[in-house]
Amino acid sequence: MSDLPAVVVGLSGGVDSSVAIASLKAQGYPVVGLTLWLMKGKGQCCSEGLVDAARLCEELGVPHHIVDSREIFEKYIVNYLVSGYASGVTPLPCSQCNRLVKFGPMLAYSREQLGIDYIATGHYAQVKYNPTSDRYELWRAVDRHKDQSYFLYDLPQEILAHVLFPLGQQTKAETRALAAQYGLHTASKPESQDLCLIEAHGSMRQFLDQYLPSQQGEIVDVHGRVLGYHQGIHHYTIGQRKGLGIAAPEPLYVVALDREHNRVIVGDRATAGRRECTVARVNWVSIPRPTEPLTATVQIRYRTPPVPVTIIPDPNSEQVQLEFAEPQFGVTPGQAAVWYAGDRLLGGGIIQPFSTPTPEPLETRVAQV
């Protein structure tokens, strides 16, 4: 009998989680596979993922559980996305899904149904216990290109204390080599490129179009001049530069989404740059909440490089104010800002809507004259 604790491994049917469970098993951990059934559609997280995960567990000779999580996925992710886009923000579903749909419920199921106290996933990130601070710290993965720590910033200490990331210290190439070495049928599965919802529905636009009706409106500049038309403000993101469908001599960025008048407001680079923003729903991970301002680097999107920032805690709330050393162009309400000291993830939260002065619609101004 192994002295190692039993671990429940979240399986999506993809190569990363397949190698995560096979590696833990090879190290002597008693393992159980668990797949959350998240939505209907094609691709992982749907029936295809369930079948691949079941087949993998059969090959490995380990138990496999499937938990129908479609209802909580609908409640916490689909509704969150649809209401966010409808109100003019661009929500980040992955960190919320990790906390509320995946890690929290997986650990609860493991404990309550299986009496198992540890869970693992195929995420590329590392958890390190710091005995001095008595905190479970989150660190970037060794494979910087695959690092997924950004999406995990919202995990509380109670969960991090019970999580293993078996792939955090290896490269994706090593994962693929191990998949072949273990003879896993998932070894040659292509990399998932995008958000699971996008894989299942084709694009975010196609997904949203099922819920939010098209509603034509104006694309205007910061003076209220009409430059073009759109089919719904939910197709746009603050900071967006490409795909605006308007010809202009200089690059234009979306600087505000005016829900009240169903308008997209665009501006030049100088208008689009932001030096600060407010971040709410902050989760402090590797350090406790500071009382003094702190310098760090911050990522305002998954794929943007970290940039220098000062984080100013609000004495009266859990919010913080971020002050960037240089103006940033993709500061998008609804997305996560996640700050680091080197490779150590300190904390993160959700960027709050900011007030960009929006011009009065033309007819209102004409009426006032």
Ligand X SMILES: Nc1ncnc2c1ncn2[C@@H]1O[C@H](COP(=O)(O)OP(=O)(O)OP(=O)(O)O)[C@@H](O)[C@H]1O
Which residues fall in the annotated binding site for ATP?
A: 10-17, 36, 122
Our CB check for ligand X shows the closer of 200 and 322 to be 200
Q: Which pair of tokens denotes residue 248?
A: 């202009």
Nearest approach in angstroms of CB 365 to ligand X is 48
Annotation says 97 is catalytic: yes
For ligand X, which residue has the nearest CB?
14
Our CB check for ligand X shows the closer of 112 and 134 to be 112
- Among the listed residues 45, 46, 57, 97, the single catalytic one is 97
Q: How many CB atoms lie within 10 A of CB 249?
A: 6
Cβ within 8 Å of residue 242, ≥6 positions away = none
Our CB check for ligand X shows the closer of 17 and 328 to be 17
* DSSP sequence for 297-364: EEESSTTSPPEEEEEEE-TTSS-EEEEEEEEES---TTSEEEEEETTEEEEEEEEPP-----PPPHHH
Backbone angles phi, psi at 205, to 5 degrees: -65, -45
Nearest approach in angstroms of CB 180 to ligand X is 15
Distance CA 332, CA 41 (A): 29
Site for ligand X in 4-23 (CB under 6 A): 10-12, 14-17, 20
Q: Which pair of tokens denotes residue 281?
A: 């729903």
Q: How many CB atoms lie within 10 A of CB 67?
A: 15
Binding-site positions read 10-17, 36, 122
Nearest approach in angstroms of CB 11 to ligand X is 6
Our CB check for ligand X shows the closer of 106 and 296 to be 106
- The residue written with tokens 């709330």 in the block is 317
Out of 64, 123, 140, 301, which residue is the one contacting ligand X (CB under 6 A)?
A: 123
Site for ligand X in 152-191 (CB under 6 A): none
Q: Which pair of tokens denotes residue 66?
A: 């499937």
Nearest approach in angstroms of CB 269 to ligand X is 33
Q: Which residues does residue 337 pair with via DSSP β-bridges, in sequence order?
A: 349
Site for ligand X in 318-347 (CB under 6 A): none
Out of 95, 121, 278, 283, which residue is the one contacting ligand X (CB under 6 A)?
A: 121
Site for ligand X in 84-113 (CB under 6 A): 102
Annotation says 196 is catalytic: yes
Residue 45 engages ligand X in binding (rule: CB under 6 A): yes
Cβ–Cβ < 8 Å for 324, 309: yes
Nearest approach in angstroms of CB 38 to ligand X is 5
Cβ–Cβ < 8 Å for 239, 274: no
| Count, residues near ligand X per rule CB under 6 A | 21
Our CB check for ligand X shows the closer of 35 and 278 to be 35
Cβ–Cβ < 8 Å for 17, 184: no
Catalytic positions, written as ranges: 97, 196
| Binding residues vs ligand X (CB under 6 A) | 10-12, 14-17, 20, 34-36, 38, 44-45, 49, 102, 121-123, 192, 196
